[in-house]
Structure 1
Amino acid sequence: MALEEDLSCPVCTELFREPVLLSCGHSYCRGCITDHWTTSRSRSCPVCRQLSPHEPLSNLSLRNACETYLKERRSGKKKDEGLLCHIHGEKVQLFCQTDELPICAECKKHDHSYHKTQTLQQTVRLRKGKLKAALRPIERTLSSLQNGTAQDAKVLKYIQSQTQKTEQKLKEQFKKLHQFLKKDEESRIAALNKEEKGKREKMERRMKGRIQSLSDMIREVEEEIKDDDISFLQNYNSIMNRIEHTDLDPGLCSETLIDVSKHLENLKYTVWEKMKDICPYYPMTLNPNTVAPCFSVSDDLTTVTSCVPQNDPNPLYSNRMVLGNVGYGDGIHTFKIEVGNSRHWTLGVCLEPLSPEDSCWGLRRNGDLYCLLTSQIMFKMNTNPEVVRVKIEDENHLWGRGCRKVSFFDARTNCNFAKITGVPSGKKIFPFVIPEKRSCPLRLVPADVTLTIEQNLSFQERHRGWIDICVWFVFCLYLIFFLKSDTQSK
């Protein structure tokens, strides 16, 4: 009440409405002080009687205080009203756990007599505790995000590390290509310079020989011109004949020039063909994002080796299977894995993402024994394959409709030594490898790249076989007709 009195106008004794401040320091409602001055015909303060020659100023601080007080009083009333039962008008002190409703004592007696209830304060206390407990994992997650210890931060750090390592590997790979191209360029320029040197020396010898020959002729003719008149006239015709038959320009063939075609013909293709030896094509490579910390993958993503766990592991993948980067759908697909002399390895296909059961179809070697992942039957082989070819194909027989078959071959002998049927179709399956022993890597085998050159052949060249058959057919008909006519004439 004391606060409400301090916020009340001395004239109307109610809360200030548009309070104004007089020069004497007292405050009034703007309407109240205006009416007072109109009635008294004097601009004096109703409290201290001091005159106010100037217009009163708005008291913003007092107005804000009044508005805040009114808001708090309204919210207090609503709170008090909310604690009363809207049916019986009594204070709500209980909570019905059966109906999840706050109730009063009268509600408990009538509508909730057999329901489980507890005091409202106890319910609020318990449920606030549950909410705080439920918030703790969220608070811990928020704290780990803010402190940089959450998985998101680890992934971000790993992405940065991946970028740096990949950039370094890119530079190394392109450095090798640049070195190859530089070496090939130097070799070709050296061959060009060698040809230029040979043909230049040949031309220099030719020019030197012609200079010597022409100089000798000129000297001989000049000496014969100096002979006495009788001798000169006697030799004149032979001298003139020699001069006239001197070949001043013996001519040069195109072989004298640099064979530019030899150096530039299909240059890019020729370089590319040589690069195939250092740039093999792999239809499938390994996915480095599926490499566990205990494995390492080569820079070209074709070889995986078991090793000591790395210091910068992938935070999103911990499975021991290293997957290929290509998923195979329905149809026929093959890939080759070089296992070498390793006696411990596993390879095959799997679904991705991996499910905990019925998701892998592969072959494992453990020493001299082999077994399929889908069975526990062990078997031996007379000759252990060094390269395993895996073939995925649809099963076309009736009972296998809608399934696929995975077969394992010795790539050297093309012998099919194991197969798995009933692999589900309709989903992509990914190759996987697991090197089970250190220092025994598993390698992908590159594909054989062939180039088909299209040639524009004439009609006769394209259909020579059919033309020959037609000619022989016509000749046989003519021969039969001729023999028949000859027989009838006899």
Structure 2
Amino acid sequence: MAMASVSGTDMSREQFLCSICLDVFCQPVTIACGHNFCKVCLTTYWNGSLSCQCPLCKTIYGQRPELSVNTLMSEMAAPFKRSPGQRPAVVPGEVPCDICPGAKCKAVKSCLVCLASFCKTHLEPHDRVATYKKHKLIDPVANLEDRMCKKHDKLLEIFCRSDQKCICVVCLNSEHKAHDTALLKEECDRGQAKLRKLRSTAQLTKCKREIKLQELKRLLAQNNVMAAEEKLEAIKVFSALVAAVQRSQVLLLEEIEERRRKVEKQACCFIKQLEKDITVLRRKLIELVELSSHAEDHHQFLQTFTSISSFPQVIDLDKVCVKGFQSLKPVWTDVAQLEEMLYGKLYALPKAKLRMVQESYAVEVTLDPATLKTGAGFILSEDGKQLRTTWISRLGNTSLDCSVLGKQGFHSCRFYYEVQVHGNTEWQLGVIEEAFKRDRNHREYWLLQLDKMGRYSCQHQPGFYGLIQKTTILPPSTNPKKIGVFVDYNGGQVSFYDENGKLFHSFTGCKFHEKLYPVLWSNDVKPLIIMPVARQKK
């Protein structure tokens, strides 16, 4: 009766499609709002939702309705269901099977010998029959007739390098006889090699510009920091001058700002060009990567490669050169000599300089328990920040063999760390080269020491144990609570400060060969404590 009803009315398959799976209803259910869905589809939909609502009209149900199959709807939909072996028809954009009668199925492969596309069912002879197994299969493509020579109706299987076009065998023996030719696969392999080289060149060019871009941005940041430092120093110096020189202060600030703007303008110009180059190169790389994915389609590859193989024009990195901020510091010296009263103002600058070092170059330092020598009598805290000894050597001789190194090593940079020494009567601290971790006889170090007699000294030993140690006895000093260690690796400098910014000693002209590690030694039960650097609130 239901069948008669279906055939008696002008019903279409689309009226029996589930809006979730887009296929003919299977065990259709009807909910209160009147919409129909496959039972499995609706159950799965609700299982993945926070609330029970209709997928179409979004009607929300307080409680999950009990689903029962609509038998009438199921009988009406039955004539529109596909047979068990039938596949869904192709959708726009997909390649249809050339063999399927009536509704076409989606092709899974195209044969360059048969010049046809096949669905999974009709491709089966190519997997089974020996003759068909030799055919060349590629991912499905439309318009296989475009791969035939329009003039001779032969397969385009040769590439003419002279004319940059695909030709057939007959063309090869006629108008292209004297031309430079190659098989499509051979030419495609050649093009892929060029493509890989082009991609490599583009990638390398992009990376170089990214590096240069970062260098320029760092230079720009340093330029701003240096300009800010110069402004601050200028304000401190000129604040004590009489009104007659206040105009000079304004002019000097303007000059600093002009120099900063000049560097910024030049750097921003190069940055804009480099960012533009990088964007162009990224697009180029996307095109090249996309072309690589079509390598099996020789015809399409060669047609596309010819149009995108040209390399984009980018800026010459040798021309990207920006001079850094040119300091006006000699002016400060000249101005300072005008009034003796400026010396009182300049006295506060060392602490300000130390604060700048702390804010710019402070690093996290944790002592490495792996460098703690067994039997040395040291105790290292769990967080790796405190070091003390369990017994005091009466000899009071320092032993670098028992020193403890930091976990972090530093190379080609500036860094600063602080150690609380308050209450400790005998200690050493500073930096040492990485070779000491491999061989404790190799001990090139730069240290500040307090001995048991209360004397401060700086020590530098070049190279291996046994070489002459250079020791500098420092003038008597009030006992500091903290010692700051500042290292300028590229500048060859190691400096030691107290908490007030007073300079104990500075090693200059140092030649560092590898990573530098913080190093500590103590001969007191009072601990040496690596302190977090207090930063100025901005």
TM-score normalised per structure 2: 0.27
**Greater radius of gyration (CA):** 1
Q: Return the structure number with greater helix share.
A: 1
